[in-house]
Amino acid sequence: MSESNPPEAFKPRKVRCPACTGQSLYSSANPYRPFCSARCKGVDLGAWASEEFKLPDETPLDEDFGDPRQQ
């Protein structure tokens, strides 16, 4: 048998938490990855939610702008 390097299963490693820039364990054991904790993940989700609410409501006002009697 030749030397074979069995592919390492998902190897946990430390990454930087995007929310608090602290150390976060990037592994299947951390359901909040790449965040370090549920709190940090919640912070990000909160930002996302507010971002959604900030979407401009671009309702076309054609009927208001165009005068049907113009033609």
The residues that touch Zn ion, with contacts defined as CB under 5 A, are 17, 19-20, 22, 36, 40
- Minimum distance, C-beta of residue 40 to Zn ion, in the bound complex (Å): 3
Residue 34: phi and psi, rounded to 5, are: -80, 10
Cβ proximity to Zn ion: between 42 and 66 the closer is 42
**Least distance between Zn ion and beta carbon 35 (Å):** 5
- H or E stretch covering 46: helix 38-53
Distance from C-alpha of 31 to C-alpha of 12, rounded to nearest angstrom: 12
- Least separation in angstroms between CB 16 and Zn ion: 9
* Sole residue written with tokens 């946990």: 12
